[in-house]
Each structure stands twice: as C-alpha cells, then as structure tokens.
C-alpha cells in the first residue's frame, strides 16, 4: 500500500515570496491534515479536512496561509507571502476517518527554509 506522498521535499525561498506544497493521501482516506513542525518542537496542526470540507483551521494563519482539498483527494498548502518564521517542516497526514481511535499516517514532509 502506498503511503502519503508529499512534494517537494525541500524548498528554499526568499521572504515575501510565495510557495506551495502538495500532498496525496493514502487511497480511501477521508481525513487529511497539515502540520507545521518547527525545529525542536512537536508538530502543530494547521488544518484538517474531512473529505473536501474544513473541520478545523483554528491555528492556520489565514492572512498568509491557505489550503484546499479539491475533490476530497489531493491537497495543496500555500504560503503567501512567506516570513522568516515560516521556516519549518510541513507534514501531511491522512486517516481513514476522524474517530478518536483513528491512526494518522504521515508523509515524509517538506522542509522549507525562508531566507
């Protein structure tokens, strides 16, 4: 079974530029998550989708971050404009459903460096 795919794996940009990350979840997984993991910290949830609807985006900085999940499968996370403090690893995860016992499966992440 294929895992969660993410691209690109690495990205270096200047501050104020824009960047986009792509995620393809495990086939059949209805729930998709984007996390931000700053160096030395645990991942922090940015946004959670159930199919193509948003169920939690309370920690997404909406003035610069946006995400969409068209057709309930692939998802894109965008940052525009980027700030230095956005340097982090962006992790995508998926789960079959959103029940409390569901396991989340993580992709390898995209490492972003903002200069």
Partner 1 sequence: AQSVTQLDSHVSVSEGTPVLLRCNYSSSYSPSLFWYVQHPNKGLQLLLKYTSAATLVKGINGFEAEFKKSETSFHLTKPSAHMSDAAEYFCVVTAYNFNKFYFGSGTKLNVKP
Residues forming the site for partner 1 (CB under 8 A): 3-4, 31, 33, 40-45, 48, 50, 55-56, 91, 93, 95, 97-109
Provide the minimum distance between the beta carbon of 43 and partner 1 in the complex, in angstroms, as a whole number: 5
Cα–Cα distance for residue pair 71/46, rounded to 1 Å: 20
In the complex with partner 1, which residue's Cβ is closer, 17 or 30?
A: 30
- CA distance linking residue 30 with residue 90, whole number of Å: 20
Smallest gap from residue 23 Cβ to partner 1 (A):
12
Residue 72 vs 80, nearer CB to partner 1: 72
Q: Is 85 helix (H, G, I), strand (E, B) or coil?
A: helix
Q: Which of 61, 80, 65, 62 is nearest to 16 (CA)?
A: 80
């Amino acid at each position: 079974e294929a895992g969660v795919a993410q691209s690109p794996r690495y990205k270096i940009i200047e501050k104020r530029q824009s960047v986009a990350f792509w995620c393809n979840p495990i086939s059949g997984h209805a729930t998709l998550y984007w996390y931000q993991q700053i160096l030395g910290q645990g991942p922090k949830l940015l946004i959670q989708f159930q199919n193509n609807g948003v169920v939690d985006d309370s920690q997404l900085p909406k003035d610069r971050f946006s995400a969409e999940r068209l057709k309930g499968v692939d998802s894109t996370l965008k940052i525009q404009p980027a700030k230095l403090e956005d340097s982090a690893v962006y992790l995508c995860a998926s789960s079959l459903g959103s029940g409390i016992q569901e396991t989340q499966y993580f992709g390898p992440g995209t490492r972003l460096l903002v200069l």
